[in-house]
Amino acid sequence: MEKVTYSIEDGIARITMDDGKANAMNWEFFEQMGKSMDQAENDGAKVLVITGRPGFFSGGLDLKLLPTLSASEFADFATRFARTMLRVFSFPAPTIAASSGHAIAGGAMLSFACDRRFALDGAYRIQMNETVIGITLPSWMFLIASCAIPSRWRNEALLHARAYNPNEAVERGILDAVAHDAESLAAHVKAATEELLTLNLPAYAASKKNWRQAEVEHVLDLLKKELSDQA
């Protein structure tokens, strides 16, 4: 079963995550996500939309997998996670997260890595819960979050692991908008897509690269030391 599927129509690429459960991130997930982004780039996508299944955008890393990894395997896995999220963050076309459920830990980070963020209203959590469950936040997460979370709210969102519902996230500027139903969510995504299609794609890609490439390379270098310090 494919956990991540890809499609494109009229230059609009869509990556859909659906493992039938919480869209947990594991080796297979990252491989399929990478292949989907490869395809979007090869197809010359003008906008990339990332969405999940009803009830879950993503619950983050596969916590059942982590205890089974050796120290070297964990370092490889953590690096793959970082590179996948930073690739979304650096993607050369505009990106939109369309969440119809929970976005927790790595799932929240994936949403933060996108340029625009929309969510379905409901009893859903948007939470970076790492400091609750005993995971140290690496520098690359702070880089991505700095472009998604206004500075006023970063302590409570990242260090204090505050759980937000979609409306609370909108109030803090973490989401662009909340939709009351699936049709409304699609309408928000369509409107944002039409707006982003007016951009000059080569200029957008070059500008994003100029803004982010050096910082991305820096946090990846830092990750090597951070993982070594945790070993």
Q: What letter represents residue 160's amino acid?
A: H
Contact between 58 and 109 under an 8 Å Cβ cutoff? The reply is no
pLDDT at 28 over 70: yes
- At 1, the pLDDT band (50, 70, 90 cuts) reads confident
pLDDT digits (tens, 9 = 90+) for 134-156: 999 999 999 999 999 999 999 99
Mean pLDDT value across the chain: 97
What's the whole-number mean pLDDT along residues 95-122? 98
Phi/psi of residue 9, nearest 5 degrees: -150, 125
pLDDT at position 231, please? 66
The CATH superfamily assigned to 4-196 is: 2-enoyl-CoA Hydratase; Chain A, domain 1 (3.90.226.10)
Contact between 37 and 87 under an 8 Å Cβ cutoff? The reply is yes
| Domain residue limits, the chain | 4-196
pLDDT digits (tens, 9 = 90+) for 167-223: 999 999 999 999 999 999 999 999 999 999 999 999 999 999 999 999 999 999 999
